[in-house]
Amino acid sequence: MSDAHEAVPAALSWNPSAPGSVLLRLLQSGDRNVRRNIAARGDLPEAVVDAILADPDRFLRHVSPPRSARRAPRRRWSPAST
């Protein structure tokens, strides 16, 4: 592929106006850098976050704390629970 064909997915992966459906298709691509660009964004639609959390790529699943909190609810410590 030419550099221009590789630049378009990379640019879309950072574009805050890219719809969730486009980001989901880019996640399905084999381009590791594009996939990691998407995972690094903080403004993702819920469906894209769900796809990242279900992805077998460990790096993609290593997400920011607000997203990782969706994996499992955190139990709060209280004196009564000891």
Q: 27-78 pLDDT, tens per residue?
A: 998 788 899 899 888 888 999 988 988 888 887 877 544 555 555 555 666 6
Residue 74: inside a domain, yes or no?
no
Give how many domains the chain has, as a whole number: 1
Residue 11: inside a domain, yes or no?
yes
Checking if the pLDDT of 18 tops 90, the result is yes
Q: Where does the pLDDT of residue 13 fall: very low under 50, low under 70, confident under 90, or very high at 90 and above?
A: very high
Give the model's pLDDT for residue 69.
55
Residue 14 CA to residue 1 CA, distance in Å, equals: 20
Q: Which residues of 54-82 are buried (b: 16+ CB within 10 A; e: fewer)?
A: eeeeeebeebeeebeeeeeeeeeeeeeee
What is the extent of the structural domain holding 62? 3-68
Residue 78: inside a domain, yes or no?
no
Residue 62: inside a domain, yes or no?
yes
Residue 54: inside a domain, yes or no?
yes
Residue 53 CA to residue 39 CA, distance in Å, equals: 10
Residue 31 CA to residue 12 CA, distance in Å, equals: 13
Residues in the chain: 82
Residue 76: inside a domain, yes or no?
no
Residue 18: inside a domain, yes or no?
yes
